[in-house]
Chain A
Amino acid sequence: MFLQLLISGIAFGSLYALIALAMVIIYKTSEVPNFGQGEMAMISTFVAYALLENYGYSFAISFLGSLIFAAFLGVFLEFVFLRRAKEPNILSLMVITLGFQMILYGLASWKWGADQRNLDFPVSDFDTVQIGSAVLSYLNIATILITLLLMFMLFLFFKYTKIGIAMKATQQNAMAARINGIRTNRILSITWAMSSIIGAVAGILLAPIATLDPNLMMDPLLKGFASAVLGGMTTLVGAAIGGYMLGVIENLFGGYVSLEFKSVVAFGIIVLVLCFKPSGLFAKHYVRKV
C-alpha cells in the first residue's frame, strides 16, 4: 500500500515538477509567475490532438508539431503583450498573464468545446508491471523517465551551452548581462519558448490520464505552482523536488487520511510552508532593500 502510493505519487509528482520547472524558468527571468502556463500547455496538447486525429499524422510528428507550436506561442505572448507593459510592476505583469490564461481558455473552449476527448498516447495506461507490491502502468514509467530525461537535458543546457549560461546571467542581473553583450530581450523570448515547451510535454503526458478538455490543466497548474512555491520560486532543483514532494504527500494523504480532501491538503501545506519559510524550502531568503 505504502509503496504503491509512493510510486504513483512520484508519477504525479513528475508532472507537477515539470509544470513547476516551466514556471520557475519564467519567474527567474521575467520575474512574474505565469498564470497562463497551464492554458498554454492545454492548447499545445489540443494541437497535438488535432494533428493526430484530424490530420492523421503519426504520434511522433504530432508531438513535435505541438512542441514547435508551444515554442511559438510562448514567444508570441511574451513579445506581443508582456514586453509592451509600460510601467511593469509585479501586479500588472501578473494580471497580464491572468489575461493570457483567460484568452487561451476562451479560445480552446470556443474551438473544442466542453466535449471530453481522448488523446491516443502510444504507451498504454492499462498494461502494468509489478514492482514489489506496487503496480505501475507503462504510462507512469514513461512519465517518470521522460521527466528525468527532460530535467537532465535542462541541467546540461544550463551548465554547458552558451545560451543556457547567458540565460543564467540574465536571471542574475539583466543590466550587467546586457552590458556584457547578451541580448536580454532575445533571451527572454527563448525563456518563454523553453518554458512553454516543458509545459506542453507535461500537458501531453497528462492528457491520457485525465480527459482532454479545456479544464485539463486548471488543477495541475495550481499544483505545479504550489510545488514551485514549496521548493522555492528561484531554484530549478528546488522546484523539481517540490513537485515530487507534493505528489507524494498528496497521494499519501489521499490514501491514509481522506481521499475527499486530497486536493485541499496541497494548499494547506503551501500555507504552512509559506508561514514558516516564505521563500520556499530550498531557496535562499533574500532580504529586500528599500
Chain B
Amino acid sequence: MDIKRDYYEDIRLLDSKAIWFWFIMLLLSLTIFPFIAPNYYIYMANYMAINVIVTIGLNMLVGYTGQISLGHAGFFAIGAYITVLFMTKIHLPFLLALLLGGMIAALFGFILGLPALRLEGPYLAIATLGFGMAITQVIGRWHIFGGRMGIEVPSPSFGSYVLNSDRQIYFLIISIAFLLIMMARNLMKTKVGRAFIAIRDSDIAAETMGVNLVYYKTVAFAISAFYVGIAGGLMAFLLGFINPSSFNFILSIYFLAFVIVGGLGSILGSIMGGVVMTWLILVLDKVQELPYLGEALVSFSSKWMNLAGLPNISSIIFGLIIVLVVVFEPLGLYGFWIRTKIYWKTWPF
C-alpha cells in the first residue's frame, strides 16, 4: 500500500499517475467553476478557501506542534486591519499590503509565542484567549482603526483593473489558498515540520534530541499567525467592510472547531474541515429556509422557544458537532477518510 521507501518518495508532491490526473482535474474544475456557477456559490467558494487557509494555519499550531490557541481571531483581525490600513493610508498595492498584513500578524504570533514557551495546556489557552480579546478591544477603541463602527475596505486592483465582484476576486483567493496549501504541505515534510511533530509528541524528548524549542515553538506561532493574517486580509476584501465585533472569541472557537472536525495534524483534513464547516455555517445561517426541517423548526420555536433567536441554532449544532467528533472520532473527517480508504482498498477482507 502506501509504504514510503525512501526520503524522495516521501517529499514527492503527488504519488501516482492517478493522483496526477485527479489533481489536474481539480485544477481545471476550479478554473472553470466561476464561469458556470451562480454568484452565491462563488461567494461560498471564496469563503471556504479563506477558512481553509485559517484551518491549515491553526492546524500547524494545534495539530502539528500541539500548542493550543484560543486567540486566532486576534491574528485574523490583525491581518484584516493592517491590510486595509496599508491600502488606505499609504496606498500600497494590495498584494504588498496583504503580505505585510500577514507579516505583522506573524510578528505578533512570534511575540505571543514567547510566553508560550513556558506555558502549556490551560495556561496557554488563557494566555492566547486573553491576547485575542485584547486585540479586538484595542482595535475597537483606536480611531485609526475606525473604532467600533468599523472600516470600509477598498477594492483590490491591478493598476486600473478593479476586482470588485466575488467572481473577480475568486481567482485571487483561490490561487493564494492553493499556494499556501502547497507551502504548508511541503513545510510539514521538511526539518521544520518534523521538529513541530516531535514537539507535539513530547517536548522534553524533542529537546533532548536537539530540537531547539525556543526557535521552533515561536516559529510555529509565527507561521500559524502568518496564514491566519493572510486569510484575514482576504476576508476583508471579500466582505468589503470590517468591524471589531466580528473578530470575537466565538470566531476563535469556530476556527478551532474547523481544525477538530477536519482532523488534527493533517493538511488534507484541514481542507475538508474548512470546506465542510463553512458550508454548514452558510446553510445554518438560513436554517428556516431549509425544506421540511425549516418549517418544523419555525413552528417549534414559535411554540416553545423564540422565533427571533432561531439563527442561534447554528451555535448549538456547532457545539454538538465538536463534542461528538471529539468523543467518537478524535481524528475528525481525516480519520473517517482514512478508514474508508483502507476499507475499500482491502475490500473483500
Contacts and interface: CB of A to CB of B under 8 A. Distances in A.
Contacts of A109: 309, 312, 315
B18 interface: no
Nearest to B130: A267
B130 A222 contact: yes
Interface string A23-34: 000010000110
B151 to A, nearest CB: 19
Interface of A: 27, 32-33, 81, 84-87, 90-92, 94-96, 98-107, 109-114, 218, 222, 225-226, 229, 233, 260-261, 263-264, 266-268, 270-271, 274-275, 278-279, 288, 290
B253 A229 contact: no
A-B pairs with the 6 shortest C-beta distances? A102-B319, A267-B130, A106-B315, A106-B316, A99-B323, A103-B319
B69 to A, nearest CB: 11
A271 B326 contact: no
A218 B252 CA distance: 14
B326 A85 contact: yes
A113 B302 CA distance: 12
A92 B313 contact: no
B256 A110 contact: no
A274 B316 CA distance: 33
B205 A290 contact: yes
Given A98-B253, A271-B127, 14 more contacts: A90-B68, A103-B323, A105-B312, A105-B315, A106-B318, A110-B305, A110-B309, A111-B305, A111-B309, A113-B309, A225-B129, A267-B134, A274-B126, A290-B204
Contact of A102 (B134, B141, B253, B330): B253
Contacts of A106: 312-319
Contacts of A222: 129-130, 133, 249
B210 interface: no
Contact of B316 (A32, A86, A110): A110
Interface of B: 62, 66, 68, 114-115, 118-119, 121-123, 125-127, 129-131, 133-134, 137-138, 141, 202, 204-205, 249-250, 253, 256, 260, 264, 301, 304-306, 308-310, 312-323, 326-328, 330
Contacts of A94: 68, 121-122, 125
Given A111-B309, A218-B249, A271-B131, A278 B119 contact: yes
Contacts of B308: 113-114
Given A109-B312, A271-B131, A90 B122 contact: yes
Nearest to B63: A91
Contacts of B256: 95, 98
Nearest to B320: A103
B202 A27 contact: no
A109 B307 CA distance: 10
Contacts of A271: 115, 127, 130-131
Contact of B319 (A86, A100, A260, A268): A100
A268 B133 CA distance: 11
A72 B328 CA distance: 24
B260 A95 contact: yes
A275 B316 contact: no
A260 B119 CA distance: 29
Contact of B131 (A81, A229, A267): A267
Nearest to A233: B122
A267 B312 CA distance: 29
Contacts of B114: 275
Contact of B315 (A90, A103, A268, A279): A103
Given A102-B315, A106-B319, A229-B123, A290 B131 contact: no
A231 B19 CA distance: 55
Nearest to B137: A264
A100 B323 contact: yes
Contacts of B131: 267, 271
21 contacts: A27-B122, A84-B327, A91-B264, A92-B326, A95-B322, A99-B319, A99-B323, A100-B319, A101-B319, A105-B319, A106-B312, A106-B314, A110-B310, A113-B309, A218-B249, A229-B126, A261-B141, A270-B130, A271-B127, A274-B118, A274-B123
